[in-house]
Amino acid sequence: MQISIIICTHQTRRYSDFVEAINSLLTQSYENTEIIVVVDGNEELYAKISKNENKNIDKIIFNDRNLGLSESRNKGIKEAKGDIIAFFDDDAVADENWLKELVKMYEEKEAIAAGGKLLPKWVTKKPKFLPEEYYWLVGATHKGFPEKVTEVRNTFGSNLSFKADVLRELGGFRSEMGVKGKGLLQGEETELCERMRNKFGKGVIYNPAAIVYHKVFPERLKVRFLLKRAFWQGYSKRMMKELGYSIDEESDFVKNLIFLSIPERLKPSSTNLLQLVFLGILTLATVCGYIFRRFVSWHSAPR
């Protein structure tokens, strides 16, 4: 069973992180792989990768303009030869058994899609103010996510894979969703996995032993960045609802915040108080994004 790993990259300043990401893929305990890199609209970066990393990469694709993450991934899908297609980020580092643990889900659980746990790799000191429930803002698996092998709606795109024929039958990612340039629109993996569940009746098999470490840079811990990301997450979830998908999991997340997370932090301590404040602020930002998208949709609807 061959696995095609698609990794998209865009920023020259992240080149050293990209190299570390590639090296972690080259040392996997599962060896039947191909690595496909999509350079999205950065000619300087493409030249640098082609010159220095060509021997480690099976195929390099260059977009002559910035198409965004979803379209870049779709380009990689078209070129992939593997039975399974896995997605990975240029600022991630894979555990050596990552692919082996994903393959287990296809062999033992008859998965059509499989994903694993994303652990934060703090580039600076771990922040005390950020509640673990909101680790998804920095691209890590959050508190409350399952701790055992089970079916879920989706995992993060840094640690998500599909059977190739299933992915192609779905038509890949929706190009209007996902990160593009400085935009923070999200939800491309969620939308794709909802489409998969509607069509095939199955979700993603989550294996917490399939571990990827996702780097958290200092700029991603700035309050302004976190608020923007939370806002656009809410905006994206409203888009999901407008497309006819369920957001029950998001409703459950909010209920858990109210009935579990807040009571846990009522015990007096400076860290609990700080995290309680940020639970409220980040939740409010997410709700604002959801309401804003609703207003935009109402305002632009034909009358």
CA-closest candidate to residue 39, choices 17, 15, 60, 14: 60
Q: Where are the beta strands (DSSP E) in 54-159?
A: 59-63, 84-89, 92-94, 113-122, 150-152
**Domain encompassing residue 59:** 3-220
Instruction: Say how far apart CA 200 and CA 86 lie, in whole Å.
Output: 19
pLDDT tens for each residue of 136-174: 999 999 999 999 999 999 999 899 999 999 999 999 998
The CATH number linked to 170 is 3.90.550.10
Q: pLDDT tens-digit profile of 245-258? A: 888 888 899 899 99
pLDDT higher than threshold 60 for residue 65: yes
Burial class (CB in 10 A: 0-12, 13-18, 19+), 262: middle
- Tokens, residue 79: 């070129």
Separation of first and last alpha carbons in the chain: 53
Residue 133 maps to a domain = yes
**pTM for the full predicted model:** 0.93
Domain-located, residue 247 = no
Residue 290 belongs to some domain of the structure: no
- Does 135 reside within a domain? yes
